[in-house]
Chains A and B, each alone.
Chain A
């Protein structure tokens, strides 16, 4: 009865639980990289770094504008790399998670695969 209970859980609640956990991991990773926020604020000045505009002359206005532009460029540069890095990480996690999900139902049969390898492949050196 216990074996039935175990197999019942493995192929039902356990498997579905894996899907749920993969979802949670993806959500947390996405939140950590905050890709939507990075895209939304792509050209926002980085940490609001800019010189205050002092005076009304054209040169000080230009200096303040160029400061802000520089700050925006730094921000865009950092956000670009963070978006790329975050996207790669998310894709990797997704691939690994999907593999885990696909392998889940055949996990109980892995010893049989081991036996088959023992009988067919023999030593690992035969693989090369």
Chain B
């Protein structure tokens, strides 16, 4: 086909006529038909012969209306198309000028549904697309060639070229659009996906308009009544008798549907067990199967045609019955009824609940197994993958009686296609519109943070949550981020947030912000800050934690304080910190406690991180942990994943993992006392830790940074006194009281609280025994009242006795 536009083609003339006045003329034609009919009839009644002429003239406006509806309004493509005019959709062809330039094309597409689709779904505005496109008609040829290329690649094979396809071609062939695409978080493939999406929507509409053959009025006359089934079950086939579904017809699903038809269409055991993780699409496959056998146009065996699929939810049945006897009786009744009706295929959802005795489940395999083996009733079971493995071990005969079909969660492209179909109903119900970027972001975030459920359901759930965050009815990538942040109660981060000026400012001034809370330890703060900047700028490895650090140094030098500062600055609060003392995990069987299920031990590492995936994970005293515990943690350091006791993956990819150790503290002090600087002995210290077998080299190598903290000097403690006093004043804010301490008094506090082995901790105790005690006494004696201030001098401290106590 030639990539040229023949302006004067018959389709072109019709399209322009329809675009310019077709609708208006059609209205006039309908009105004229009514007027001529009424006028002609009235005149004939009044014995005026001209009434015949008027009635005869009705046919002309009627013919115009028929032409408008069946030809002008649809403008089907020409058979054996030779050029673009034969195949462009009518709405687009009607608004194109002669010899259009790319700019004319861009202006034209924005007047059509395809262009508006890109505007709404992708944010490609009607303003900047024409502005950036070339005004030279000669530049249109490559765009047309690209249009044809995209059109031929569309999976739904539409008959006409839509404006969406042309929009995609314009965007791809306009170099100046690249920056705008980047700003919109899109790439060229996304634009082609947009053309595919629009084409798919068109195909869905055509599919819904196709005539349906569903068996007619006598279809069920020779089948029995099913009152109990109708009460407890859901007739999946009934909804397809009324309309077609929005089920995405994935190739993998179609193969499974074909397998089900094959199983039921032939002899042998008449059961199918769909086994897969929750949310992977088992119910959707049964929906597709019900739709397929209810459609009389499909080629399926006669013994399956128009059979009705009834879904029974095991959990609902169990909750409806009061005990084992009642559930057995109920299920028995349902099976007998379905058998006697002769046209029922039963679908037992969550069937694993019928094969084990536990909370919320009742083992009735004694009733079901003969049915599954006998083949007198067709049964489809959906079973959770993990639970099925357990059932298989306990009941091998039952497992052997099932025709198993494995349902795997679909890949990214298929999940996005499913989402594109599923949001149609969400958009209709919630009166919102999803942008493409929202879908992509929902996939990324759901894949990462939504646990316990497989794709595509995990993404659909997130999109439903995001609909509630829509602004002006539009669901953007930010709406998805907000939804997941509200669901998980944490900051997701990523490129979206990093665009915020306040966020950028915070990242650039991270060191300063951290130093507002802690004194010195510049090397440690710099290392950690650099890691966070890498993470926020999107250059980190997303399959590892944001940062992994080993903090080495004596006690009381700020290791924990730095971890807290990070939680506050990066995650927005100190409560975003998971802290585990590894000196409690000194035996090999302590690993089980570390990775325990949240239901049995909410304080296990796995449970805490699952609940709080955006956090600083602080593992204290790592040198005391058992070797098995360290081996378990290797996977966290390498892949950002920890498998809990149920083999579920817990993501650590949004945590900052900090391990602390006092190992080598004495050596650090020795080096410092000898006048070495940190950078001069850090490497040697690591070698010493390996040679003394305190750490294995493969363990140390996995950290992003090994940060050595040096002991605090008296000068630094003087600054820490200020921080401690700030804390005291913050606590006193409620009492409206302010405390100040003289400089010489601060020095006395440092002298009393200085212990090179214990860092800043003794100092805190000294402040408690002196300053806080003085304040408490004055307040009780009413010498310090709300709105007043207190100046504490060196004498006050000496009188309090707290300084002496410390030296003892």
- List A residues at the B interface (Cβ < 8 Å): 1-2, 4-6, 8-10, 13-14, 17, 24, 27-28, 31-34, 37-38, 41, 44-49, 75, 78-79, 82, 107-108, 110-115, 117-119, 121-125
Contacts and interface: CB of A to CB of B under 8 A. Distances in A.
B47 A125 contact: yes
Contact of B222 (A5, A17, A33, A75): A75
Interface of A is mostly: helix
Given A2-B13, A48-B342, A113-B56, A82 B50 contact: no
B296 interface: yes
Interface in B209-223: 211, 213-223
Interface residues of B, number: 44
Contact of A47 (B13, B17, B47, B225): B225
Given A47-B225, A123-B49, A10 B56 contact: no
B49 to A, nearest CB: 4
B53 A41 contact: no
A79 B14 contact: no
9 contacts: A14-B67, A33-B218, A41-B218, A44-B222, A47-B220, A48-B223, A114-B52, A118-B49, A118-B50
Nearest to B11: A5
Interface in B297-321: none
Interface stretch (B57-65, B135-143, B171-179, B325-333): B57-65
B59 A27 contact: no
Contact of A123 (B48, B60, B214): B48
Contacts of A108: 59-60, 63
Given A2-B13, A31-B213, A47-B221, A123 B54 contact: no
Interface string B24-64: 00000000000000000000100111111111111110110
A114 B53 CA distance: 4
B71 A2 contact: no
A1 B48 contact: no
A34 B222 CA distance: 13
Nearest to A123: B47
Given A31-B214, A31-B296, A118-B50, 5 more contacts: A33-B217, A45-B222, A48-B340, A75-B221, A121-B52
Contact of B215 (A2, A31, A122): A31
Contacts of A31: 213-216, 296
Contacts of B220: 47
A124 to B, nearest CB: 5
A112 B53 CA distance: 8
A28 B296 CA distance: 11
Contacts of B14: 2, 5
Instruction: Across the A-B interface, give the 4 residue pairs with the lowest CB-CB distance, nearest first.
Output: A114-B56, A34-B216, A48-B224, A44-B222
B341 A111 contact: no
Nearest to B343: A48
Nearest to B220: A47
Given A46-B222, A122-B49, A115 B213 contact: no
Interface string B75-119: 010000000000000000000000000000000000000000000
A7 to B, nearest CB: 10
A5 B9 CA distance: 10
Nearest to A117: B52
Nearest to A8: B10
A13, A117, A125 — most chain B CB neighbours (10 Å): A117
